[in-house]
Structure formats: C-alpha cells, structure tokens
C-alpha cells in the first residue's frame, strides 16, 4: 500500500456549479486561481479539509471530504456531500450554497492506491465512502479485477459507474439499520485467492465489524485500508471526540487476533 500523503496548504476557491445529483447527495464544483497550486495526488481516497462557514450561533468548523474528481486542465475540483435533512453542519451548508460563493480549503492528503500487480481489490462502504469508491473504480489499473459493495438507501441513490469489468453491487438499505445489509453481503462474499487489497470506509461500527471479518479471513494489515468516517447516533463533534476510543478498540481487535 502507498504511504499516506499530506500537503499543508490553503486554497481559496469559488463555487462554479452546485447540483443535487441524487436525493441525498449534493455536488459542488470549485474553481478559481486559488487552485493553481493544488497538488494532483495519486491516491483515490484523496481528501481536502473544507472550512464550513459559521453563523450567528456556530463558529466555522473544519470537515474532511473526498475529492470526487480533479481536472488539472481547467483547474476544477469536485466534492460530493451527503445530505440528511438538517443534520450536521456540512450537509445543510452544501445544500444552501450557490455558485459564486467562496469556499476555503485547508490541506489535502490520502493514502489508498490500487497497485497494478494485485490479483484483486475489494471495496466496501456506505454513502460517505461513495466518492472514494467511485474514484477508485474509475482509476483501476488495467487487468485488476474489482468488486465493490456500496450501501445506499435505495435505487434513487445509485450513481453511474465508469469501470468496465468491475463487479459493482449496490446494496439497498431500505428500513434496515445502517450497515447491516452491507456487512451481511460482504461476509457472504468469498475472498479470491492471493494478496489482494481491501478498502473499507464509512460508518465506524460497520467498518470495525468488516475489518475484523477480513482480518480473520487472512487479509494482511499492509493490504487493508479501513477508516470510520462517522458514527451512527453521533454528530460530527461527538464522533471527533470519540474517534480515539474507536481506534483503541480497533487496536484491541488486533491484539485478540494475534492471540488466536
């Protein structure tokens, strides 16, 4: 796996386009001279830090979002935001913002790159991981088989996939608990032979459960990217406060695996 890349920089951008691409997903396309120094990282989980503006009741906050696409020719950066009504800060803001608004980005990074010599790659996640999963599928090295499990609310949340040959399995949540259907389907999937790569991102409880599953199935730590983007039942601030505890729990999972 590639070593994590980080760039400390500030980019002042302008919203060029704002579109609701599915009922629960808003796409912002950013541009402007502030992106002249933007770095095109090779990782497909490429992220930026977005400054969500404050208001009379709330201070500005920093949120991490995946770069859905970067076009260096026209210097346009695309970011997709999950919107669940008025919940959180970033989603409602993205639904309100209009072309011409200024958006400040602070820093960028990432770490997942599909290696061309790998025999297979498995990607699994929910809506929050969808931009990274789709970006990965679009940049798959030729000849690397990929299987992607993507949990969304229903068929209306599916997006076009440009990845000839990839096995993309949309998992409709319906009325089931978040992550339950995804965990069920990934558990039922037989991992191919050989040292493939696994990408598990999204809701923290789901990620931890699937992480344990693939580790028990023999996936090496070096071949695994697992990250909890959010936590069911917690707002952004509460999850940020608890993330260290989640990482400690993951470390305990590793210790128990080493003891078996």
pLDDT in tens, 5-23: 777 789 999 999 999 999 9
* 18 part of a folded domain: yes
Cα torsion through 238, 79, 180, 216, rounded to 10: -90
Please check whether residues 60 and 130 belong to one and the same domain: no
Q: Is the pLDDT of residue 2 over 70?
A: no
Instruction: Please measure the distance between the N-terminal and C-terminal CA atoms of the chain and give it in whole angstroms.
Output: 25
User: Domain of 243: which CATH number?
Assistant: 3.40.50.80
Does pTM top 0.85 for this prediction? Answer: yes
- The closest of 165, 38, 55, 56 to 106, measured between CA atoms, is 38
* 47 part of a folded domain: yes
- pLDDT for 259 equals 66
Residue 3 pLDDT class (50, 70, 90 cuts): low
Looking at per-residue confidence, does 119 or 257 come out higher?
119
Please check whether residues 17 and 129 belong to one and the same domain: no
Mean pLDDT along residues 52-71 = 92
12-30 burial: b if 16+ Cβ within 10 Å, else e: ebbbbebeeebebbbbbbb
Please check whether residues 138 and 104 belong to one and the same domain: no
Mean pLDDT along residues 74-103 = 94
- pLDDT for 1 equals 59
Please check whether residues 103 and 128 belong to one and the same domain: no
Residue 83 pLDDT class (50, 70, 90 cuts): very high
Looking at per-residue confidence, does 3 or 27 come out higher?
27
Q: Are strands 146-152 and 61-71 parallel, antiparallel or unpaired?
A: unpaired
* 138 part of a folded domain: yes
Separation of alpha carbons 199 and 233, rounded Å: 23
The residue range of the domain holding 150 is 121-259
Residue 121 pLDDT class (50, 70, 90 cuts): very high
Please check whether residues 100 and 154 belong to one and the same domain: no
Please check whether residues 60 and 138 belong to one and the same domain: no
Are 113 and 2 spatial neighbours (Cβ–Cβ below 8 Å)? yes
Please check whether residues 82 and 211 belong to one and the same domain: no
* CA atoms in the 13 A half-sphere facing the CB of 240: 8
Please check whether residues 174 and 202 belong to one and the same domain: yes
């Amino acid at each position: 796996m590639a070593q994590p890349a980080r760039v400390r920089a500030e980019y002042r951008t302008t919203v060029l386009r704002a579109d609701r691409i599915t009922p629960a997903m808003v796409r912002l396309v950013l541009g402007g001279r502030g992106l002249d120094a933007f770095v095109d990282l090779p990782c497909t989980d490429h992220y930026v830090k977005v400054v969500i503006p404050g208001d009379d009741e709330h201070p500005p906050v920093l949120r991490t979002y995946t770069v859905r696409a970067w076009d260096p020719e026209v210097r346009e950066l695309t970011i997709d935001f999950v919107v669940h009504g008025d919940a959180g800060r970033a989603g409602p803001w993205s639904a309100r913002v209009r072309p011409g608004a200024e958006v400040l980005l602070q820093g960028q990074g990432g770490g997942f790159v599909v290696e061309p010599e790998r025999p297979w790659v498995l990607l699994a996640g929910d809506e929050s991981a969808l931009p990274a999963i789709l970006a990965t599928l679009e940049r798959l090295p030729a000849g690397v088989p990929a299987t992607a499990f993507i949990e969304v609310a229903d068929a209306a949340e599916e997006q076009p996939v440009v990845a000839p040959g990839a096995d993309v399995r949309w998992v409709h949540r319906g009325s089931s608990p978040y992550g339950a259907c995804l965990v069920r389907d990934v558990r039922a999937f037989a991992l191919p032979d050989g040292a493939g790569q696994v990408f598990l991102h999204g809701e923290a409880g789901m990620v931890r459960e699937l992480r344990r599953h693939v580790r028990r199935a023999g996936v090496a730590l070096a071949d695994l990217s697992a990250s909890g983007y959010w936590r069911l039942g917690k707002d952004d601030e509460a999850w940020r406060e608890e993330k260290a505890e989640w990482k400690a729990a993951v470390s305990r999972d590793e210790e128990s695996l080493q003891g078996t």
